[in-house]
């Protein structure tokens, strides 16, 4: 084994590969303030910086928050509230004035990256007609200030705007929204080089369907996966399935080039008696596993090459929010800035936990895709195989690691042994990756290798080569 390759691969695992940083997604946090006990914005900025959070989204354009964020190297998305949409739509002088009051005094010292015009506007039929005209006026006002190249204009859309979301490949927008609102909005985003903001909450889907949705699947924990019968894609998390439903809806309208940012997602740490699934352990699992999934790179089955950019909801528990108990318990932090639960929120923090195997969580969910030469289905089992899209160099480095420091049993793929044929890098890497994965009791983070591997639910078959699997504590071999 090449010591240089092993060294470089370990550096990749621990620090990330700087030359391919664009492959990694980003984690931001929604900073809501519907509470009477939150710390001052200056203290909040220190909290964000101490946790490595470099992107934040607020639900207004509060001057004290924007002032505190100045020169912090934290990017911020601001919001024009729904109540202002009609004024913004009817008169561009209104958006001129709004920008002069809320953006100009702070930019560029405060790194304002986007303006969300409204929030989940399609939920309110009365506000829907104002959305696109307001977005267009906002963009025109940004152009006047020469800000439009750097500050994007978008609007968060709730998944309730979808007519169909399962299976993911059938995703489509509600027919009554398409012509009057969805198409004009997507055309605007396309023309201005912006992106769609989507709010995704697997918690709501799980809470309403506990009889049919696996909790492990909802929390991005190791599970058998769910297969889309239309295209064969295997989903290892409800989050990815929901996101692909949005992508499918975009594809159906011929807007496949529009990127998507997940502007809200989260899991409550407490809930009422009928809010099934709410709780600290589940919130820690969902948010922690999602952070690991986003920061270790890769996209979804429908868009495997698109990085994931996600804003968690929310920074704090907010004691003045109405609705069910869960609404007041989405925070990562209590108002006194203590963590509700301990999860990594940045790549540095994630690398800190990954560098010590005893601190690793069963959380890293890979990019699912079917392997070459699938054998018959073996219910309840999973295997780890090479991701051929990763490229030869990454596969070779990962193979060297698995057979070296990883301790995989690579004897069967040596020349003359039973699994040497087919003599291809992909076949050898698949065997080595799976050996390591089964040895580590199929913890999903052990089938990643920097994006070089995938979990699959079909038994790989390479001639007379047997792929090991794990049941309980006993290692088995299946033909």
Please say whether the dihedral angle defined by the alpha carbons of residues 346, 350, 352 and 353, taken in this order, is positive or negative: positive
Whether 120 sits among the annotated catalytic residues: the reply is yes
Q: Which residue has the higher pLDDT, 360 or 304?
A: 304
Residue 17: the pLDDT is: 36
- Average pLDDT value for residue range 459-476: 57
Residue 9: the pLDDT is: 44
pLDDT higher than 90, residue 83 = yes
Residue 296: the pLDDT is: 81
Q: Which residue has the higher pLDDT, 264 or 370?
A: 264
Confidence of residue 48 (pLDDT cuts 50, 70, 90): very high
Residue 336: the pLDDT is: 97
Report percent pLDDT > 90 for the chain: 63
Residue 26: the pLDDT is: 94
- How far CA 450 is from CA of 6, 24, 224, in Å, comes to 13, 10, 22
What is the distance between the alpha carbons of residues 466 and 418, in angstroms, rounded to a whole number? 9
Whether 264 sits among the annotated catalytic residues: the reply is yes
Residue 374: the pLDDT is: 34
Residue 408: the pLDDT is: 86
- Average pLDDT value for residue range 161-183: 96
- Average pLDDT value for residue range 60-81: 98
Residue 352: the pLDDT is: 64
**Catalytic one among 120, 207, 318, 426?**
120
Residues 6+ apart with CB under 8 A from 179: none
Q: What mean pLDDT, rounded, does the chain reach? A: 85
Q: Are 450 and 13 in contact (CB under 8 A)?
A: yes
Residue 180: the pLDDT is: 95
- Average pLDDT value for residue range 360-383: 40
pLDDT higher than 50, residue 365 = no
Report percent pLDDT > 70 for the chain: 85
**Catalytic one among 207, 240, 264, 426?**
264
Question: Distance of alpha carbon 49 from its chain centroid, rounded?
Answer: 21
pTM for this entry: 0.73
pLDDT higher than 60, residue 243 = yes
What is the distance between the alpha carbons of residues 102 and 110, in angstroms, rounded to a whole number? 11
- Average pLDDT value for residue range 273-279: 93
Please say whether the dihedral angle defined by the alpha carbons of residues 351, 353, 356 and 362, taken in this order, is positive or negative: negative
């Amino acid at each position: 084994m090449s010591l240089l390759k092993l060294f470089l691969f370990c550096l990749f695992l621990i620090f990330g590969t700087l030359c391919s940083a664009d492959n990694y997604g980003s984690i931001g946090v929604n900073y809501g303030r519907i509470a009477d006990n939150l710390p001052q914005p200056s203290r909040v900025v220190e909290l964000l910086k101490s946790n490595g959070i470099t992107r934040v989204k607020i639900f207004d354009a509060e001057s004290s928050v924007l002032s505190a964020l100045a020169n912090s190297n934290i990017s911020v998305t601001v919001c024009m509230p729904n109540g202002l949409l009609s004024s913004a739509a009817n008169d561009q002088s209104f958006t001129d004035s709004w920008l002069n009051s809320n953006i100009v005094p702070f930019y560029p010292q405060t790194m304002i990256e986007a303006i969300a015009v409204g929030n989940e506007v399609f939920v309110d039929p009365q506000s829907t007609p104002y959305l696109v005209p307001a977005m267009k006026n906002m963009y025109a006002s940004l152009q006047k200030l020469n800000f439009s190249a750097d500050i994007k204009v978008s609007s968060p859309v709730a998944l309730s705007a979808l007519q169909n979301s399962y299976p993911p490949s059938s995703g489509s927008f509600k027919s009554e929204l398409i012509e009057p609102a969805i198409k004009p909005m997507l055309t605007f985003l396309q023309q201005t080089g912006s992106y769609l903001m989507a709010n995704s909450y697997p918690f709501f889907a799980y809470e309403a369907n506990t009889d049919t949705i696996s909790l492990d699947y909802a929390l991005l924990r190791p599970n058998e996966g769910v297969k889309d019968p239309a295209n064969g894609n295997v989903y290892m998390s409800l989050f990815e399935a929901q996101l692909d439903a949005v992508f499918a809806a975009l594809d159906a309208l011929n807007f496949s080039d529009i990127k998507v940012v997940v502007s809200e997602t989260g899991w409550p740490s407490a809930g009422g008696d009928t809010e099934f699934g709410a709780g600290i352990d589940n919130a820690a699992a969902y948010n922690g596993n999602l952070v690991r999934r986003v920061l270790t790179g890769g996209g979804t089955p429908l868009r495997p090459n698109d990085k994931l950019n996600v804003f968690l909801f929310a920074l704090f528990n907010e004691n003045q929010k109405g609705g069910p108990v869960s609404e007041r318990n989405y925070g990562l932090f209590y108002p006194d800035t203590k963590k509700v639960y301990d999860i990594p929120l940045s790549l540095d923090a994630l690398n800190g936990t990954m560098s010590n195997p005893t601190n690793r969580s069963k959380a890293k969910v890979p990019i699912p895709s079917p392997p070459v030469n699938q054998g018959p289905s073996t219910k309840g089992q999973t295997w780890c195989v090479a991701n051929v899209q990763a490229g030869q160099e990454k596969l070779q480095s990962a193979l060297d690691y698995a057979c070296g420091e990883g301790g995989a049993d690579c004897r069967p793929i040596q020349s003359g042994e039973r699994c040497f044929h087919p003599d291809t890098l992909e076949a050898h890497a698949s065997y080595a990756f799976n050996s390591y994965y089964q040895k580590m009791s199929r913890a999903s983070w052990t089938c990643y290798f920097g994006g070089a591997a995938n979990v699959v639910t079909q038994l790989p078959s390479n001639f007379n080569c047997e792929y090991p699997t794990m049941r309980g504590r006993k290692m088995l071999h299946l033909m």
